[in-house]
Amino acid sequence: MKFFVDTADPDEIREAATWGVLAGVTTNPSLYARIGGKLADFPSHIQQICSIVDGPVSVEAVGNTRDELVAEGLRLAALAENVVIKLPIGTEGLAACRILTDQGIAVNMTLVFSVPQAVLAARAGASYISPFVGRFDDIGEDGISQLADIIDALSNYDWRGFGINDQEPQVIAASIRSVHHVTQAALLGADIATIPFAVLKKCLDHPLTEQGLAAFAKDWEKVIA
Ligand code: G3P
CA distances in angstroms from 173 to 6, 67, 150, listed in the order given? 11, 28, 10
Indicate the domain borders of the chain: 2-224
Distance CA 106, CA 77 (A): 9
If we measure between CA atoms, which residue out of 57, 82, 45, 76 comes closest to residue 6?
A: 57
For residue 86, indicate whether it is catalytic: yes
Distance 158 CA to ligand 1 centre (A): 29
**28 CB less than 6 Å from ligand 1?**
yes
Looking at the structure, give the CATH architecture of the domain made up of residues 2-224: Alpha-Beta Barrel (3.20)
pLDDT value for 208: 98
pLDDT in tens, the chain (225 residues): 999 999 999 999 999 999 999 999 999 999 999 999 999 999 999 999 999 999 999 999 999 999 999 999 999 999 999 999 999 999 999 999 999 999 999 999 999 999 999 999 999 999 999 999 999 999 999 999 999 999 999 999 999 999 999 999 999 999 999 999 999 999 999 999 999 999 999 999 999 999 999 999 999 999 998
- Which residue's C-alpha comes closest to atom 4 of ligand 1? 175
Q: For the range 36-44, what are the long-range contacts, defined as Cβ-Cβ under 8 Å and sequence gap of 24 or more?
A: 37/8, 43/79
